[in-house]
Structure 1
Amino acid sequence: MSVVKRLLHPHYVANSILATAYPVHQIVMHPELLSTASVATYSRWLLPAMVILSVKVKGSQSAEELVSVIALYLKVFCVYGFWVISDERIPLWGSSWGGWWRVFLYLFVWLVIFIAFPQPPYQGPSNVIWLDASQLEYLTTPGNKVSSSSGSTSSTNLRNRKDKSKIVELDENGNEIDQDEEYQSKSKKAELDPSHYWIIAFNTTWSSPCRHFEAVLARCSITYEKKNVHFAKIDMDLVPEGDQIAEKFRVSLAATTLDLPTLILFKDGKALKRLPLKIGTMAAGEVLGKVGWDRSESSVVQSFELAALGSGKESFVTQSSS
């Protein structure tokens, strides 16, 4: 699915329009602001805005993330702008209205758009396998071995997983992919073999970083998937065991968490590496605190050594065997 088609989703269109509300209001109500003198007066804000924009452009991993971040900054600016002119009365329907109604109306419309048009999931090509709680436990429990029945069970569960998540994958032409056939093919190929390398993303559907990271994980799955290297994900808020999973793998689900998304590399049921990295001091055998990460493709490639993963030349394999 092309970038243009993805950005024409109602979520991005509605938020982009909302982000321009204050500038449009000012131009309509005060066209004199377009004069050369007025533009020169406000140009001092241009440099800081360009610096912030350049940082966000560099840090964004997809066009969708860039649009979302810029729209958010502009919407906050719009709220501030309407608050600044709250004392300015405006004639409407033969009477004079105070300015505070614009602030509350803007916040109300923002809330309506947030509820009516939530951020859509990634809609491009992907080799990422969706897991349920039982499959996750099977892959992350030491001592499990692949069996002939695991493939068929995986196929059925993945079809059910698709129904729960209500995600529609589209091909490059924007046509819906037959996901039953797609997931059967992926699950049969992987066979949920715990002896393979599994990079599993622990996500939630309400987390914007998780939504933005879906495109990065998909690109990695296409570029670096091998016979013994697979990419998978689980949305912890869509499975009944989500809280237990978060507790078991020490993934915070707090609204201000830096843990989402969390990537963990498993082999033979053992966790070998993870992102974000843990930092801090030791207490009762546990590391206190974690640090966020940029969620970039390069950080995933470097941290999990994707170029060498599965070849036996990984540094952590070499170190353990020496």
Structure 2
Amino acid sequence: MAVRYDILPHSRSGYLHPARPLADRKRKIRQLPRRKIRVTPLHTLGAFLLFCGIFFGFQQLYLFLITWEKLNVSTVEIACPDENLKEKINQLLAGRKLGNILICDLNPWREKIQALPWAKNVVLRKSLPSTLLIRVEPRQPAAVLVRDGHGWLIDREGTLLETTSPAAHPELPLIIDSTPSDSPASLQLAWQLLEEVDDSLRKDLAWIKISIPQGITIAFQGDETPLILGFSHFKQKLAFYHQTQAVLDQYRPLEYIDLRLEDRVYFKPKRPAALSSLASTAGEENHG
């Protein structure tokens, strides 16, 4: 066996002594005897009773919390910039017992508030110990819609907010929907027109009519002549109309101006009342 010798520092006697072999410096590890733990039925019964006690304690705590009067919902805070909508929500919740705040299901109340026409986004949150927080984003009216002879206040999504008349909201665009379906897709043409034109031109609009097959037809305030614009390129067609307006003024009054074809304008002059009566008289004489 190879033996390594190290040089030790000088001893007191001044002589150098070779170090002992490393194998001789290892200590023997004392091995402790392993004790076996026996699980007796008494141990099992004790663990079982301990777990039963813990579960029983949690059960009693849960029953206490869900029946504690201080955790019943007693305060409802509503954050909504629309005072009318806020009042409707208060009326909806008036006299209703919401119960314990820990087990109160907020989904049915969220659906009831969301069913209000003016409510766009509804968020309900619990605040311990007894407060329910309601945050509501109201819908914003975007236009007055006339459909089937009835006037409605609508938002950008086409939601019917409440019945109204065009005279009650002169600052909003007036949209007349003559299409057979009440799908919001028919309103997209009107929104597209309002997005393409600038603010000054938008304020001059008297009404916007949606029909098939004409598409979009508009009229300006102070001018009863309908402008048929079709289904697209509204801004370009209106710009072309203003370019040719001086020529069209020579033939007024007009029954309509058709701008559905790009870079083309078709119009029909109104027949004067004298000519109309003369034509009808001549027709009666011919029949006679």
Superposition TM-score, scaled by structure 2 size? 0.22
Between Structure 1 and Structure 2, the one with more helix by share is 1
Between Structure 1 and Structure 2, the one with more strand by share is 2
Higher relative contact order (CA 8 A, sep 6+): 1
Superposition TM-score, scaled by structure 1 size? 0.21
